[in-house]
Structure 1
Amino acid sequence: MNISEDTKLLYYFRKWVNITEPEEQIILSSFEETSIKKKKDLLVPEDTCKYIYFIVKGCLRSYFVDNKGVEHIYQIRMDNNWISDLESFFSQRPSKYYIEALEDSQLLRVSYERLEQLYMEVPGLERYFRILFQKAYINALQRLNDTMWESAVDRYEIMLKEQPDMFQRVPLVYIASYLGITPESLSRIRKKK
């Protein structure tokens, strides 16, 4: 791993837990560097999700395709975020999702088996990932609630406020899917602003 990748990954661990220098080395040796080109898939339905990915640089989306052939975006993640299909990862059963790179992306990944070992070797990481997974669960519930109770305009404004760079890096058709609206509706909302 190069210095910037090391620093980024460790920075996010240190935000929530104390880790020693020897533990840092264990962590760094447990993550593998990988990269993926734009429009390529990290995961496809029926494959088991074997890794959790830390996005050093890049942008990815996870989505599923319904029985009518319509894509539904579940996650859009950019630099310094995590992406995976946690249901498949933890159950070690086949996924229902695609994970696709929207940009050429540099990633660090850890396997299910190695993560379980890391919990034993670096106990603080169990706390870190518990917090991370709790936040992921809360975010998923919040998105579900927002879709049911918030207007499309409100969902758009929240995204614009919280993730303005997404509008520079992600095609609007994907943002519309993520917001649960049609591209035409998103276009109308943006014209009124």
Structure 2
Amino acid sequence: MNNIPFLEYINKYISLSVEDETILLSKIVQRNYLKDQYISQQGDICKSVNFIISGGTKTFYMDKDGQEHIVMFSIEDWWTSDLGSFITQTPADFNVQCIENTQLIQFTYDNLEELYKEIPKLECLFRKIVERAFVASQKRIVRNFSLPVKERYIEFKNKYPQIEQRVPQYMIASYLGVTKEFLSKIKSQIIQNQ
């Protein structure tokens, strides 16, 4: 697997020496998952934080009626995990499942803790990643409470066009909190108004 996209991503935020890169690469696990495979499952302790080299995932909660509630999609150069479970090492609230064949770079909890000691600036990088994830999550909550579904869909489509093209409509509907039929109706209205 090619580590260059990962190192390019890291070097956008912090500069690593050749020695730092060697240490970093020695602590990662590279994995390939098939479409529909789970990276982590609700109720299990999330064992890794994952950087996507290629492919995509969905993070979702399965309610007691078997209904899927998608909270996030992740694609190339994004991170995916049940972060709450990973950080606290307690049972996960969410499933992380591949929506395409996916190549990942994974960090286990222990490896990440060791890396923080060996390359202290990585702790700063991961703090920034977690902060950005937290802010994005809060903004999404506010949008879900304050915007009509049509506006939420338009925002999703404009902000994540590459995801909208790769993800089935029923998953986007789940992400928006509506049925696929309702989303289809909204899309028809948008086309008619153009």
TM-score by shorter chain over 0.5: yes
Any conservation in 1 of the 2:60–2:94 contact (CA below 8 Å)?
yes
- Provide the alpha-carbon RMSD of the alignment: 1.0
Query: 4+ residue runs of structure 1 moved beyond 6 angstroms?
Result: none
CA-CA distance at 1:162 after TM superposition: 1.1
Deviations 1:98-135 (A, max 9, x none): 11111111111000011011111111111110110000
1:128 maps to 125
Scaled by the length of structure 1, what TM-score is found?
Answer: 0.95
CA-CA distance at 1:93 after TM superposition: 0.8
CA-CA distance at 1:76 after TM superposition: 0.7
1:33 maps to 30
Aligned residues: 190
Report the residue type matching 1:146 in the other structure.
R
**Long gaps (5+) in structure 1:** none
2: CA distance, partners of 1:175 / 1:98: 16
Scaled by the length of structure 2, what TM-score is found?
Answer: 0.95
SS in 1 for 2:103: strand
CA-CA distance at 1:68 after TM superposition: 2.3
2:110 maps to 113
Which moved further from structure 2: 133-142 or 178-187? 178-187
2:94 maps to 97
Q: Is 1:188 the counterpart of 2:178 in the alignment?
A: no
Q: Is 1:140 the counterpart of 2:114 in the alignment?
A: no
Any conservation in 1 of the 2:40–2:47 contact (CA below 8 Å)?
no
CA-CA distance at 1:191 after TM superposition: 0.9
**Long gaps (5+) in structure 2:** none
* Identical-residue share of aligned pairs (%): 32
CA-CA distance at 1:144 after TM superposition: 0.5
Find the partner of 2:56 among 50, 56, 59. Answer: 59
2:76 maps to 79
Any conservation in 1 of the 2:143–2:152 contact (CA below 8 Å)?
yes
